[in-house]
């Protein structure tokens, strides 16, 4: 039963991750789909957990950068 669960999680996680990667090129919510696939794979694989953590750190850094840019923008009105 354990192998069936791991196989199912692997197949569905990889499918979701691949769909997210395709959405990088095509219009779609890649920023939401990729972490979903990684989170699913992270339940079974430590390397996916590592990549999910890296993705979360990069997204947090980007959000902080955008916040600083938004606060320091020049108002043209």
77 residues of the chain, pLDDT tens digit each:
889 999 999 999 999 999 999 999 999 999 999 999 999 999 999 999 999 999 999 999 999 999 998 988 876 66
State the Cα–Cα distance between residues 47 and 22, nearest whole angstrom: 21
Is 76 a member of any domain?
no
18: containing domain: 2-71
* 26 phi/psi in degrees, rounded to 5: -90, 160
Is 77 a member of any domain?
no
Domain count, the chain: 1
Q: Kindly report the pTM of this predicted structure.
A: 0.78
Q: Kindly state the tokens that stand for 57.
A: 């750190």
Tell me the per-residue pLDDT of 54-71, one tens digit each, with 9 for 90 and over: 999 999 999 999 999 898
Is 8 a member of any domain?
yes
Report the pLDDT value the prediction gives residue 33, as an integer from 0 to 100: 94
Is 18 a member of any domain?
yes
């Amino acid at each position: 039963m354990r192998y069936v669960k791991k196989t199912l999680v692997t197949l569905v996680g990889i499918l979701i991750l691949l769909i997210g990667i395709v959405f990088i090129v095509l219009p779609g919510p890649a920023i939401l789909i990729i972490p979903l696939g990684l989170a699913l794979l992270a339940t079974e694989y430590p390397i996916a957990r590592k990549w999910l953590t890296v993705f979360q750190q990069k997204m947090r850094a980007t959000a902080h950068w955008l916040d600083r840019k938004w606060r320091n923008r020049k108002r043209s009105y």
